[in-house]
Amino acid sequence: MAIATINPTTGETVRTFPELSESEIERKVGLAHKRWRTYRDTGFDERAEWMRTGADLLEQEADAAARLMTTEMGKTLAAARGEALKCARGMRYYADNAAEFLADEPLADPAAVGARHALSRYRPLGPVLAVMPWNFPMWQVMRFAAPALMAGNVGLLKHASNVPQCALYLEDVFRRGGFPEGCFQTLLISSGRVEAILRDPRVVAATLTGSEPAGRSVAAICGDEVKHTVLELGGSDPFVVMPSADLDRAAETAVDARVQNNGQSCIAAKRFIVHSDVYDAFTDRFVAGMRALTVGDPFDPATDVGPLATERGRAAVEELVDEAVARGAKVLCGGRRPPGPGWFYPPTVITGITRDMRIFTEEVFGPVATLFRAADIEEALEIANATTFGLGSNAWTRDEAEQDRFISDLDAGQVFINGKTVSYPDLPFGGVKHSGYGRELSAHGIREFCNLKTVWIG
Ligand code: NAP
């Protein structure tokens, strides 16, 4: 894939970038390794000051950063601005909390292990390669970079090929924030160049957010090299609605949960599983909400849903919908691309899904909701868990016993009751099953790329 900014609203190529040469990659990996040997011993206060200055820059430049995101991948300008500010918040969160998260953990009773003192100490690992997706082109990077840098690691970013300007901008933010050269570098390379970097002994670990095939590939190489990985892969999150739910709020949130980021979020609710008693009432509200959305230019403040980020991405969504319809699924709204330029696809609701349809098992990365009817909580849980993914999940019920059932029995890394799945710096984020492993954000996220060193002093 060419490394280029291609505006999804128009389909026009705005700017292309040459890939790094072998010698440029060698220089950058060498610099990362050399820098880490001094950077690892900088103090938390110093790192926090650079991180906060970077956060200030992102806040001051939020409008420009937002325009970059909207131009490169088509999210609405308001959403993009929110993303820039969320990055700043994530940076401050780790600037404020890293020292506490990584403080020594003394053993209460060292005599039990025959020591005078015993403790665990978190030490950084070294240069980490981050392979990142385009859908949250700044936030996905920041939620790796802020904790990794605060822990004393250095970062190498291989960003998605369609968001090179976002990638270069983030490198610039860290540099201007005050981080020494080499602490965070963008590598403009295609995915075929990733393997050699993962096998380089100077690169000690990797994190990938993206699709399942990309995750499998990176994990296989790192497995072969015995290097630590964190994988944040796809999701097909269930959104269950039970009879005691507040239907107006559930339907309104369902619309937002499905179409956020133009339908291209790993934690978007994708499968809506509704109890028979409220199925018709919920469906009417939900379909009306989806129909009422304005699809159009993401720079226009009146727009709710912009284009999909890539032509290939839209074709993949269309294929899943068309195959389901050919096999008998019923389209309640949307389902057909509009004429004209840009990679638009309308908010769509489909029902009558059977398990032999690809749309039942695959992630739909666009504003398409599949709707299921469940007779009771057992059937709702069975449908919700009938997927190889396990990232986020949502259940709407005011019944506390039911809430508890969903919290315990939904196979997912996250359960949101009476709300939609959202990532916050303060909450751990990650999945189970084919959605990946490891955790980002919170205290857990910063510890992923640390050596938890056991210390025994006699
Ligand atoms: P993708 O094709 O997997 O791309 C993600 C990144 O991986 C890009 O930088 C891509 O580079 C690179 N890549 C692709 N194939 C690779 C390979 N074989 N080896 C090494 N690197 C490789 O995913 P996408 O379609 O852009 O993003 C959408 C997917 O990401 C969805 O499945 C979504 O659910 C998932 N996602 C998950 C999370 C989460 O936190 N769990 C968050 C956001 C998105 P190129 O661009 O150069 O191909």
Q: What digits encode the pLDDT tens for the residues 134-163?
A: 999 999 999 999 999 999 999 999 999 999
Same domain flag for 209 and 352: no
For the segment 35-59, what is each residue's pLDDT rounded down to a tens digit? 999 999 999 999 999 999 999 999 9
**One domain for residues 311 and 336:** yes
> Mean pLDDT over residues 301-323, rounded?
98
From the CA of 429, give the closest atom in ligand 1: 40
The parent domain of residue 286 ranges over 237-386+392-417
- 67 is a domain residue: yes
- pLDDT attached to residue 453: 98
Q: Is the CB of 266 under 6 A from ligand 1?
A: yes
Token representation of residue 142: 């920041």
**Co-location of 216 and 342 in the same domain:** no
- Examine the domain organization and report whether 69 and 157 are in the same domain: yes
Provide the number of structural domains found in the chain. 2
Question: Is residue 391 lining ligand 1, measured as CB closer than 6 Å?
Answer: yes
Residue 427 forms part of a structural domain: no
List the residue whose alpha carbon is closest to atom 10 of ligand 1: 160
- In this structure, the answer to whether residues 208 and 241 fall within a common structural domain is no
Give me ligand 1 centre to Cα 109, in Å: 46
Q: Model confidence over 369-384: pLDDT tens digits?
A: 999 999 999 999 999 9
Does 281 lie in the same domain as 189?
no
Instruction: Return the CATH number at 62.
Output: 3.40.605.10
Q: From the candidates 183, 266, 333, 450, which is the catalytic residue?
A: 266
Q: How far apart are CA 325 and CA 110, in angstroms?
A: 66
How much of the chain, in percent, has pLDDT values that exceed 90?
100
Q: Are residues 267 and 218 in the same domain?
A: no
Give the confidence band of 99 by pLDDT, cuts at 50, 70, 90.
very high
Other beta carbons within 10 Å of 19: 15
Q: Is the pLDDT of residue 419 over 90?
A: yes
**Residue 423 domain flag:** no
Q: Tell me, yes or no, whether 287 and 142 share the same domain.
A: no
- Is residue 329 included in any domain, yes or no? yes
Query: Does 245 fall in a domain?
Result: yes
Q: Determine the pLDDT at residue 1.
A: 74
* Domain assignment present for 279: yes
Contact 380, 240 (CB under 8 A): yes
Question: What digits encode the pLDDT tens for the residues 345-363?
Answer: 999 999 999 999 999 999 9
Residue 274 lies in a domain: yes
Pocket test of ligand 1: the residue of 1, 3, 73, 135 to mutate, having most ligand atoms within 8 Å of its CB, is 135
CATH number at residue 354: 3.40.309.10
Task: Judge whether residue 172 has pLDDT over 80.
Answer: yes
The pLDDT of 201-214, averaged and rounded, is: 98
**Long-range contacts at 309-314 (CB < 8 A, ≥ 24 apart):** 309/8, 309/73, 309/74, 309/134, 309/135, 309/162, 309/262, 309/264, 309/343, 310/6, 310/8, 310/134, 310/162, 310/343, 311/11, 311/343, 313/264, 313/343, 313/365, 313/366, 314/343, 314/344, 314/345, 314/366
For residue range 178-198, list pLDDT tens digits in order: 999 999 999 999 999 999 999
Residue with the nearest Cα to atom 25 of ligand 1?
211
pLDDT at 118: 98
Q: Is the CB of 363 under 6 A from ligand 1?
A: yes
Q: How many CA atoms lie within 13 A of 164 on its CB side?
A: 20
Instruction: Assess whether 333 and 450 both reside in one domain.
Output: no
Query: Is 285 found in the same domain as 329?
Result: yes
Judgement on whether residues 230 and 252 belong to the same structural domain of the protein: no
Annotation says 266 is catalytic: yes
Question: Do residues 66 and 181 share a domain?
Answer: yes
Q: Which of 61, 232, 363, 440 is catalytic?
A: 232
Instruction: Write the burial class of residue 375 (CB in 10 Å: 0-12 exposed, 13-18 middle, 19+ buried).
Output: exposed
Evaluate whether residue 258 is within a structural domain.
yes
* CA 45 to centroid of ligand 1, rounded, Å: 34
Q: Is 390 in the pocket of ligand 1 (CB under 6 A)?
A: no
